[in-house]
Amino acid sequence: MNTLALIGITVVASYYMGHLAKKMKLPSLIGYMVLGVIMGRSGFGYFGIDLVEKLDFINEIALGFVAFSIGIELSITSLKKQGTGIISIIFAESFAAFFIVLGAIYLLTKDLPMALIFAAMAPASAPAGTVAVIHETKSKGSLTKALYAVVGFDDGLAIIIFGFAAAMATSLLSNEASGQAASIWPGMIAAVREIGLSLLAGTVIGFIFCNLVRFVHDKRDMIVLTFAAVLIAIGASQQWHLSLILTNMVIGFILINTRKKELADKVSSQLLIVMPLLFILFFSLAGAHLNLSALPSLGVIGLVYIAARSVGLMGGARLGGMFGKVEDKIKKYIGMGILSQAGVAIGLALIVKHDFAAIGTEHADKIGISVITTVTATCIFFELIGPILTKIALTKAGETNV
C-alpha cells in the first residue's frame, strides 16, 4: 500500500480508537498505541521495521513539539510560587530510582557493572505520554505545573546520571579485560558536554525565535515560525548529538520568560491545534514499533527492574515532596505521573550495547544484550501503564476539565 495512504488510514483509525479508549475511561493515546500494534509488526505487519524507521522523523518532530510545549509552561514566576519543592522532587525521584534499582539488580545478579547500567536507565522518563494526557484532559493546577517541570527537567539529570554510571561500568569492565585502571572522566565529560551544548543551542535558537515571532501580528502565522524553530532545534540536536528534548524545551522556556505572557499564550493556542495530530502519529507509530514477542523474554531481571524503578520514582517523588514542603496533592500524586519510559531509555540502552561491544569481552557483550532486551520489554509495560496512572493522578487531584 502507498505509504501516505497508509498513514492517512492510520490517522483516521487511530482517531476512532482513541475515542473508544476514552469511552472505556482510558487515555486516548492507549487507543492510538493499540491501533499501532495492530498495524505493526506484532499485528498485520503493514508497518514493517524498515517503514517505521523511515518515518522516525515524525517521532522526532512530535517529541520536539512536546518539549517546546513543556518549556512554554515553565515560567520562572510560576516555578517560584512552587518554591524549591520541585527541585527537591526531581533530585529525590531520580536518585531514589537509581539507587533502588542499583541495589535490587546487584542483589539479584551480584554483577556490579550490570547493576550500574540498569540503574542508569531508571531515571529516564518519556514526557510525551504525560503531556498527551494533560492536553487531552485539559488539566490545570499546581500538580499539572509540577508534572511539566518534573518530566522536563529530570531528563537532563537522567543524562548526567547515565554518563556517570556508564563511565563507571565501562571502567570496571575495561579493568576486568586488561587488568589496568581506566578513567571514568571521558564519559562524565561527554554527558556534561551534551547538557551544556543543548542548553546553549536552545538559548540561541530561542532568542532568535522570540525576536522574530514578536513582529508577527496574526497568531495563525506564528505556527510557521514555531515549526521552523522546532525543526532547526531537532536538526541541531541530530548534527551535534545533543538532547532533542532539552534543546526544544529551552526554546519554550526562553519565550515564556523573556516575552509578554500574551505573546506566549498566542503561540501556545496554536500548538493546541497541531498537537492532537502529532500525538496520533507519535503514539500509533510507537505502537507499530512495539514487539510484543519481547515480553516473554522479560525474565526475573525485568520484573525486578519494573518493581524497583516504580518504587524508586514514586517513593522518591513523595519523599522529595515532603522535604520540599509542597502541597499535599502534589506530594501524593506526582509519582504516578512520571512512570512512562520509552525512547530516551531505549536510546541509552543502544549506546550501552554499542560501547560495550567495543570492549570485546563476553561479560560486556552479555550486559549489552541483556540491557537492550530487558529495557525494550519493560518500556512496553511503562508506556501502557504510565499514561493511565497519570490520568488517575490528575483526576484524583481534581485538575481535569473534561
User: Could you report the per-residue pLDDT of 277-309, keeping only the tens digit for each?
Assistant: 888 888 888 788 777 766 666 678 888 999 999
CATH 1.20.1530.20 fits 57-396, yes or no: yes
Residue of 126 and 39 predicted with greater confidence = 39
Single-letter code of the amino acid located at 232: I
Which pLDDT band holds residue 183 (cuts at 50, 70, 90)?
A: low
**pLDDT per residue as tens digits for the range 122-171:** 888 877 788 888 888 888 888 888 888 888 777 778 877 887 888 788 77
For residue 44, the model assigns a pLDDT of 82
User: How long a stretch of residues is the chain?
Assistant: 402
Helix then strand count (H, E) for the chain reads 17, 0
Spatial neighbors of 158 by CB under 8 A, at least 6 apart, are 94, 123, 124, 125, 344
| Structure confidence by residue, pLDDT tens digits, 68-102 | 888 887 788 777 776 778 889 888 999 999 999 99
Global pTM? Answer: 0.76
Report residue 207's pLDDT band, with 50, 70 and 90 as the boundaries: very high
Helix axes 56-71, 142-178, angle to 10 degrees: 130
| pLDDT at position 182 over 60 | no
